[in-house]
Each structure stands twice: as C-alpha cells, then as structure tokens.
Amino acid sequence: MEDKKTEGSTMSKTEYVIDPGKFDIVMTRVFDAPRELVFKAYTDPKLFAQWWGPREYTNRIDKFDARRGGEWRIVQSDGSGHEFAFRGVHHDVVAPERTVTTFEFEGVPGHVVLQTATFEPMGDKTRLVQQAVFQSVEDRDGMIASGMKRGSDDSMDRLAELLEKMKAGKA
C-alpha cells in the first residue's frame, strides 16, 4: 500500500510508503533549501527544537549530541502540564549526507526504532528520505495507529517553514 499525502497548498507534501507486513516506513519530502541547511536544521539542537513534533507541543532538549555515539533526549510538553520524553543514540552522522539514529518513546520502553535520514541534493532543493525500521510489524502498525503521520506532517511542514526563515537569515 502506498499512501501519499496530497491535500494542501503550495508546500511540498510528505510521501509515505507503508507496505503491509513490512517492518518499515519510508517518508520522503522535497524542501526548497540546499541540503546543508536541511542537515543543519536536523542536527543543531536549537533548530531541531523549533520544528520536531506536532505543532501543539513545545520541545525541551535535555541532550542532543549529533555525532557518532552521541545521545539525544527531548521532552515534549502539551501546554497542560503533560510531558512525553523520547530518546536515542546517533549511530552515524555524515554531514551533510546522512544521519542514523535510534528512537524510543520513554512511555513505551523497549520498542526501539532505527531511523536513517538521507539528504539528497537537487540543485537548490533537497530530497529528505527517512526510513524508520521497527522491531516488528506490530510495533510499526502501533506507531501508525498512535497518530504518527499527523505528527510527521506537522514536523515536516514546520521544518519547511523554518528553512524559509533560515534562507532569509531570520533563524
């Protein structure tokens, strides 16, 4: 099953490939920014905190060491005092080409996702391809059922907005 998000305006939209019975999700989005900027927004903790996650949440960066072996931990707040923590390890960071990290929601420990992001240059644009590999089909389907696509769409839209500010020298 190929599931593509097509609603919306002038912004590029994220394409999802979610095949039944597979352990992964592949998300692709083209950004109107050079890959060095996209990579920077992905690996600089101050920038990352501005775009990661659904719009209604704010991010607090507890750790964010974007180098091989570096740990990260982010706490999201919903404005009502509820917090949700996520953590992982950067297994590979090759500027400006690729990151490989683990991702774990602390509310459901032991369900670790391996995420690879590649930043492909397309002239002045960048194709970001993110592959998330889960430990089981059930884990993957549970992530989808939790609202992952809405959060991912928000993140990618917010990243596009941040990149526009970065290109204009306002971020």
CA atoms of 65 and 88, how far apart (whole Å): 10
Name the one residue in this structure whose structure tokens are 């599931």: 3
Which residues, in sequence order, are CB contacts of 128 under 8 Å at separation 6+? 28, 29, 30, 31, 38, 117, 118, 119, 120
For 53-67, how does the pLDDT look when each residue is reduced to its tens digit (9 = 90+)? 999 999 999 999 999
DSSP element (H, E) containing 53: none
Domain residues for the domain of 138 are 2-167
Domains: count for the chain: 1
For 106-162, how does the pLDDT look when each residue is reduced to its tens digit (9 = 90+)? 999 999 999 999 999 999 999 999 999 999 999 999 999 999 999 999 999 999 999
CATH for 78:
3.30.530.20
